[in-house]
C-alpha cells in the first residue's frame, strides 16, 4: 500500500482532505468565525491541488540561464510555473474575501452581540 | 482607439473605480457625475462593439490582451452572445446608477464615492466575465464582481450583513468548485483558453477526469446563478440590500453566471458527453426551480421576498431552456435572460422606491399606493404583466419560445411546469397589482399624491417601456441577435 503512494499522490490526498475539512467546517460549525476559517481551509485545498499539478520530480525552478538557451530546452527539467502564477491570483482573491468577511463579522458582532449562529438567529427573530 | 473596444469595456469602469472614491472626498456630486459619465461611455463602447460584431460575416471579434497571442496570452472574445450580454449589463448598470443618485443623496451623501467605486468594480467584473475568452480570467472577474457585490449588498443594514455573510460563504465555495474544475481541465489539456481547450479536450480522451472537472464547474456556476437547489443564499441577500443594488444585482448578476454556464457547456465543452449529462441534470434542476420558485413566491407577504423567489423560478426557465438544447429553446432562454433582466430590474427599482418613499414593502401595505405614486405603479404593472407572460409584453414571447422548445422536445413535465408557474405568477402578481391600484388606503389624513423624484422614476419607466417595445418588435431581436448567438453545434 505504502509503496504505491508516491509523493504527488500524497499531495492530492492532502488537497482532498483539506477540501473535506473545509466543507465540513462550513456546514457543521455554528460559530461564524469558525465557518470563515473553514472557508479559508477550503481555498487552501484548491491552492494545494494546483501546486501539486505543477510538480515534477527532479525538476528545478523555471529560470533558464542565458548560457543554456543555445541548445534545446528540456521541459522535464523545469517545474511548470503557470499554476504558481494562477495561485498567486487565487491567494489575492482569498485574502480579499476574508477581509470583506471579517468586516461583516465585526458589524454583526457589534449589532447583535454574538457570532454564534443559533443565538444570532434568535436575535434576528426578535 | 476603436480596435481596443473589447478591453476598454472592462478597463474604463475599472479605472474609474480607482478615481471615484478620491473624488468623493471632495465632492460627492462630482463623484456621482463621473460614475454616470463612465457608465454611459461603457454603454456606448459596448454598443459600438456589438454593432461592429454584427456587421462582420463570422461575427467573432478576437482581441489579444497586451499583444500576447492566444493560447499563451489572455484573449477577449466578442461575438453576438457576449456582445449582446455586455450591452445588457452596461445599460442596466447605467439605469440603476441614475436611480442610485437621489437614493444616495438622502441615505448618506458622504459615502457616495465609496458606493460608486464598489458599484463600478461590480460592473467591471460582470463585463469581464462576459468578454473574456479565458477560463481563469473568468474566475478572477467572477470574484471581483462577487466581492464588490458582497460589500454593496451589506450596506443595506444589520440584517443585510448577516444575509451577505452567508452569501459570501456559499459564493466562495462556488468559486472554489469552479477553480478546482478548471484545475482538472488544465491538467488534461495544459491550456486555459476556451477555444484551444475545446479542441484539445477531445484529444485528451480522459472521460472520468473530464466528468469531474465539468461537474465541479457546473456546480460552481450553478450556485452563483442560484439554480435550484443552490438558491438558498438569494432571498435574504436580495431582500435586505439597498434598492439600487438589488435592482442591478437581481437583474444581471445571476444571468451573467447563467451566461457563463451556457458558454462553458455549449461553446467550450459542446462535444463532451459529460456536458450532455450536466445539461440533463440542469434540466431537472430547472423544472424543479420553476415549480419551487413560483410556489414559494406565492407564500411571501413581503413584496421584495416575493420578487426574490420569483427570480429563483425565472432562473429555472432560463436553465431549462438551455438544457433542452434545440435552437428554439435556446433562443427562448436567451430572450428570457434579456427580458427577465429588464422586468426584474424594473420591479425591484419600483419596489425599492415605494419603500423609500412610504416605508412600506409588504403586499398588504401596498394598498392604495398606486394612487400616491401613479407612474411608478404603472411601470410596476407593465413589468408584472410581462413576468406573468401576457402579450404584447416581451415576457410572453420568451415564454412562448420556451414552450415551443419544450413541446418539440416532448418534455411534458417541463410544459406543465411552464404553464403551471405562469398561473401561479399571475396569482401572486395580480394580488400585488390589486392592492396597488384598487386597495383602500386607510391612513388618515390621506397621504399626498407624490411620485418618486425624476432620477428614480425615469430608469423604471424606461425599463418598462423597453419591455413593451421588445415585445412589439421581438422579431428583429430574435433573428439578428439571438439566433446568431447559438452555439456552432446547434445552429
For B294-332, what is each residue's pLDDT tens digit? 999 999 999 999 999 999 999 999 999 999 989 999 999
Q: Please report the pLDDT score of residue B446 as a whole number.
A: 65
Residue of B385 and B452 predicted with greater confidence: B385
Q: Compute how many other C-beta atoms are within 10 angstroms of the C-beta atom of residue B472.
A: 12
The model's pTM is 0.94
Domain boundaries, chain A: 7-61+78-125
Chain A interface includes B161 (CB < 8 A): yes
B-chain residue closest to A35, CA distance: B169
Q: How far apart are CA B269 and CA B280, in angstroms?
A: 14
Residues of B in contact with A108 (CB under 8 A): 158, 161-162, 165
Q: Please report the pLDDT score of residue A33 as a whole number.
A: 95
Across the interface, do A96 and B147 touch by the CB < 8 Å criterion? yes
Shortest Cα distance from B327 to chain A (angstroms)? 36
Question: Taking 90 as the threshold, does the pLDDT of residue A123 lie above it?
Answer: no
C-alpha cell at B136: 481563469
Q: How far apart are CA B385 and CA B368, in angstroms?
A: 19
User: Which residue carries 430547472 as its cell?
Assistant: B286
Domain boundaries, chain B: 1-133, 134-485
Q: Please report the pLDDT score of residue A1 as a whole number.
A: 40
A-chain residue closest to B147, CA distance: A97
Across the interface, do A46 and B158 touch by the CB < 8 Å criterion? no
Shortest Cα distance from B416 to chain A (angstroms)? 35
Q: Please report the pLDDT score of residue B47 as a whole number.
A: 95
Shortest Cα distance from A77 to chain B (angstroms)? 17
Chain A interface includes B164 (CB < 8 A): yes
Q: Please report the pLDDT score of residue B106 as a whole number.
A: 84
Q: Please report the pLDDT score of residue A39 as a whole number.
A: 96
Determine which helix (DSSP H) or strand (DSSP E) holds B61, and give its type and residue range. strand B61-64
Is-contact B201 B162, C-beta < 8 A?
no
Across the interface, do A93 and B169 touch by the CB < 8 Å criterion? no
Nearest to B485 by CA among B281, B337, B285, B274: B337
Interface test with A, best of B68, B145, B160, B172 (most A CBs within 10 A): B172
CATH class of the region A7-61+78-125: mainly alpha
Give B76's strand partners: B63, B132
Shortest Cα distance from B188 to chain A (angstroms)? 10
Determine which helix (DSSP H) or strand (DSSP E) holds B78, and give its type and residue range. strand B75-78
Nearest to A50 by CA among A97, A92, A12, A6: A12
End-to-end CA distance of chain B: 33
C-alpha cell at B228: 435550484
Chain B interface includes A39 (CB < 8 A): yes
**Percent of chain B with pLDDT strictly greater than 90:** 70
Chain B interface includes A21 (CB < 8 A): no
Q: Compute the average pLDDT of residues A35-44.
A: 96
- pLDDT bin (cut points 50, 70, 90) of residue A62 is confident
Q: Compute the average pLDDT of residues A7-33.
A: 91
Is-contact B463 B346, C-beta < 8 A?
yes
Q: Please report the pLDDT score of residue A4 as a whole number.
A: 55
> Can you say whether the dihedral through the CA atoms of B218, B222, B227, B231 is positive or negative?
positive
SS3 B134: strand
Cα atoms in the Cβ-side hemisphere of radius 13 Å centred on B418: 28
Strands (E), B83-236: none
**Percent of chain B with pLDDT strictly greater than 70:** 98
B-chain residue closest to A93, CA distance: B143
Question: Taking 50 as the threshold, does the pLDDT of residue B204 lie above it?
Answer: yes
Q: How far apart are CA B148 and CA B144, in angstroms?
A: 6
User: Which of A23-37, A77-91, B44-58, B438-452 is predicted with the least confidence, judged by mean pLDDT?
Assistant: B438-452
Q: For B448, which DSSP code?
A: P
Shortest Cα distance from A34 to chain B (angstroms)? 11
Q: Please report the pLDDT score of residue A56 as a whole number.
A: 79
Q: How far apart are CA B284 and CA B278, in angstroms?
A: 10
Q: Please report the pLDDT score of residue B128 as a whole number.
A: 96
Question: Taking 60 as the threshold, does the pLDDT of residue A3 lie above it?
Answer: no
Amino acid at each position: 500500500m505504502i509503496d504505491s503512494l508516491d509523493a504527488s499522490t500524497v499531495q492530492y490526498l492532502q488537497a482532498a482532505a483539506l477540501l473535506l475539512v473545509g466543507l465540513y467546517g462550513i456546514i457543521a460549525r455554528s460559530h461564524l468565525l469558525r465557518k470563515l476559517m473553514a472557508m479559508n481551509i477550503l481555498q487552501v485545498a484548491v491552492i494545494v491541488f494546483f501546486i501539486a499539478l505543477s510538480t515534477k520530480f527532479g525538476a528545478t525552478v523555471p529560470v533558464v540561464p542565458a548560457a543554456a538557451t543555445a541548445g534545446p530546452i528540456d521541459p522535464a527539467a523545469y517545474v511548470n510555473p503557470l499554476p504558481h502564477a494562477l495561485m498567486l491570483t487565487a491567494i489575492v482573491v482569498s485574502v480579499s474575501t476574508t477581509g470583506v468577511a471579517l468586516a461583516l463579522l465585526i458589524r454583526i458582532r457589534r449589532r447583535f452581540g454574538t457570532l454564534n449562529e443559533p443565538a444570532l438567529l434568535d436575535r434576528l427573530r426578535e | 482607439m476603436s480596435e481596443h473596444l473589447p478591453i476598454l469595456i472592462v478597463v474604463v469602469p475599472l479605472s474609474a473605480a480607482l478615481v471615484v472614491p478620491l473624488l468623493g472626498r471632495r465632492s460627492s456630486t462630482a463623484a456621482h457625475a463621473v460614475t454616470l459619465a463612465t457608465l454611459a461611455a461603457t454603454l456606448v463602447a459596448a454598443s459600438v462593439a456589438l454593432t461592429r460584431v454584427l456587421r462582420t460575416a463570422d461575427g467573432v471579434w478576437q482581441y489579444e490582451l497586451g499583444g500576447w497571442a492566444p493560447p499563451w496570452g489572455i484573449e477577449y472574445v466578442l461575438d453576438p452572445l457576449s456582445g449582446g450580454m455586455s450591452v445588457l449589463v452596461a445599460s442596466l448598470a447605467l439605469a440603476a446608477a441614475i436611480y442610485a443618485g437621489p437614493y444616495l443623496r438622502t441615505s448618506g451623501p458622504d459615502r457616495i464615492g465609496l458606493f460608486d467605486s464598489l458599484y463600478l468594480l461590480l460592473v467591471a467584473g460582470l463585463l469581464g466575465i462576459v468578454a473574456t475568452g479565458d477560463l481563469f480570467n473568468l474566475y478572477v472577474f467572477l470574484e471581483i464582481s462577487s466581492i464588490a457585490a458582497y460589500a454593496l449588498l451589506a450596506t443595506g443594514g444589520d440584517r443585510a450583513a448577516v444575509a451577505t455573510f452567508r452569501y459570501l460563504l456559499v459564493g466562495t465555495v462556488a468559486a472554489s468548485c469552479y477553480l478546482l474544475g478548471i484545475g482538472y481541465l488544465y491538467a488534461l489539456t495544459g491550456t486555459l483558453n476556451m477555444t484551444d481547450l475545446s479542441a484539445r479536450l477531445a484529444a485528451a480522451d480522459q472521460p472520468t477526469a473530464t466528468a469531474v472537472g465539468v461537474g465541479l464547474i457546473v456546480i460552481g456556476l450553478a450556485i452563483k446563478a442560484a439554480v435550484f437547489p443552490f438558491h438558498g443564499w438569494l432571498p435574504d441577500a436580495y431582500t435586505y440590500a439597498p434598492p439600487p443594488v438589488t435592482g442591478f444585482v437581481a437583474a444581471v448578476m445571476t444571468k451573467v453566471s447563467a451566461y457563463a454556464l451556457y458558454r462553458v457547456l455549449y461553446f467550450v465543452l459542446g462535444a463532451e458527453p459529460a456536458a450532455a449529462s450536466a445539461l440533463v441534470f440542469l434540466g431537472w434542476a430547472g423544472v424543479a426551480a420553476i415549480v419551487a420558485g413560483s410556489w414559494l413566491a406565492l407564500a411571501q407577504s413581503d413584496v421584495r421576498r416575493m420578487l426574490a423567489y420569483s427570480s429563483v423560478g425565472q432562473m429555472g426557465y432560463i436553465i431549462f431552456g438551455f438544457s433542452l438544447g434545440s435552437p428554439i429553446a435556446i433562443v427562448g432562454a436567451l430572450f428570457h435572460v434579456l427580458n427577465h433582466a429588464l422586468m426584474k430590474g424594473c420591479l425591484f427599482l419600483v419596489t425599492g422606491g415605494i419603500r423609500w418613499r412610504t416605508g412600506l414593502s409588504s403586499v398588504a401595505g401596498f394598498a392604495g399606493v398606486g394612487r400616491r405614486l401613479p407612474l411608478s405603479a404603472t411601470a410596476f404593472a407593465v413589468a408584472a404583466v410581462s413576468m406573468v407572460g401576457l402579450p404584447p409584453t416581451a415576457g410572453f414571447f420568451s415564454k412562448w419560445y420556451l414552450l415551443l422548445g419544450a413541446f418539440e422536445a416532448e418534455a411534458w413535465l417541463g410544459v406543465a411546469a411552464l404553464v403551471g408557474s405562469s398561473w401561479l405568477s399571475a396569482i401572486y402578481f395580480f394580488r400585488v397589482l390589486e392592492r396597488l391600484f384598487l386597495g383602500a388606503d386607510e391612513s388618515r389624513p390621506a397621504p399626498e399624491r407624490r411620485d418618486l423624484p425624476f432620477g428614480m422614476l425615469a430608469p423604471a419607466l424606461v425599463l418598462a417601456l423597453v419591455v413593451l417595445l421588445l415585445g412589439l418588435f421581438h422579431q428583429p431581436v430574435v433573428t439578428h441577435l439571438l439566433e446568431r448567438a447559438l452555439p456552432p453545434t446547434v445552429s
